[in-house]
A = this chain, B = another copy of it.
Amino acid sequence: MNDIYALLEENNLSRTPCRVEILKTLSHAGVALSESEIRDKLGYNYDRTTVYRTLRNFLNQNVIHSISLEGGEVRYAMTPHKDKPHGSHHVHFYCNQCSGVYCISHKPFDTPQLPAGFSPENYDLLVHGKCKKCTV
């Protein structure tokens, strides 16, 4: 709870109920959530616009990050502390069965060689498969 207040202060964001609740929801979720899932968990007490604006603020400050899935679906999750925005390596896992999205790692991994002329800046790896819970 205090860490959420701290997070808001560090990023110069005022402590409003909506912001606090969204951060609480995302940190307890375990998986990445879509905007509608977030709003659902908050009991539809906040307007769609407000949630989107709040998420956008958090994204700008790198408090959260977004994961884009096939078909254009977007999920949001807490950013593991102090991610450097450039030169970053992200691994996410999408479960084909429960469609849950997990943040696996934000640490460097081996990357394939690119053709001459392409200068990489960051890497996003999305792994599809069966997650922990769905593997019986």
Contacts and interface: CB of A to CB of B under 8 A. Distances in A.
Contacts of A68: 68-72
A12 interface: no
Nearest to A124: B126
A111 B91 CA distance: 10
Number of copies: 2
Interface string A68-106: 111111100000000000000001010010000010110
A13 B30 CA distance: 44
B118 A93 contact: yes
A48 interface: no
A114 B126 contact: no
A66 interface: yes
B129 A126 contact: no
A118 B124 contact: no
Nearest to A95: B118
